[in-house]
Structure 1
Amino acid sequence: MNLTVINGLPAHVLFVHFVIVLVPLTALALVACAIWPGSARRLGLLLPILAFVTLASVPVATHAGEWLESHVGRDPLVRAHAQLGDGLLPWALGLFVISAVVWWTARRSAPAPGGSSGAAWSPSVLVRGVITVLSLAVAIGAVVDVYRIGDSGAKAAWHDAYSKTATSNHGG
Structure 2
Amino acid sequence: MWSVSGLPVHVLLVHGIVVLVPMTAALVIVCALWPAARRRFIWPTAALAVLVTVLTPVTAEAGEWLQQRLGSTPAIEKHVRLGGQMLYFVVPLLIAAALLALVHTREGRGKPIGRAVLVAVAVLAVAAGAAATVQTYRVGDSGAHAVWNGVVS
| TM norm. shorter chain > 0.5 | yes
Q: Does structure 1 residue 151 correspond to structure 2 residue 141?
A: yes
TM-score where L is the length of structure 1: 0.86
Greater gyration radius: 1
Aligned residues between the structures: 153
The equivalent of 2:130 in structure 1 is 140
Q: 1:44 Cα deviation (Å)? A: 4.2
Q: Does structure 1 residue 34 correspond to structure 2 residue 24?
A: no
The equivalent of 2:105 in structure 1 is 107
Distance in 2 separating the partners of 1:36 and 1:28 = 12
Taking structure 1 as reference, are residues 44 and 150 closer, same or farther at Cα in structure 2, changes over 3 Å only? Answer: closer
The share of aligned pairs that are identical, in percent, is 35
Flag structure 2 segments of 5+ consecutive residues without an equivalent: none
1:46-80 CA distance string (max 9 Å, x none): 12111101111101110110001111122010000
RMSD over equivalenced CA pairs, Å:
1.1
Which structure carries more relative contact order (alpha carbon 8 Å, separation 6+)?
2
Q: Does structure 1 residue 24 correspond to structure 2 residue 22?
A: yes
Distance in 1 separating the partners of 2:107 and 2:41 = 14
Distance in 1 separating the partners of 2:42 and 2:72 = 46
More helix by proportion, 1 or 2? 2
Taking structure 1 as reference, are residues 135 and 48 closer, same or farther at Cα in structure 2, changes over 3 Å only? Answer: same
Letter of the 1:156 counterpart? A
Contact 1:31–1:136, Cα closer than 8 Å, also in 2: yes
Q: Does structure 1 residue 77 correspond to structure 2 residue 75?
A: yes
Letter of the 1:161 counterpart? V
Letter of the 1:87 counterpart? Q
Aligned counterpart in structure 2 of residue 51 of structure 1, from 49, 52, 75: 49
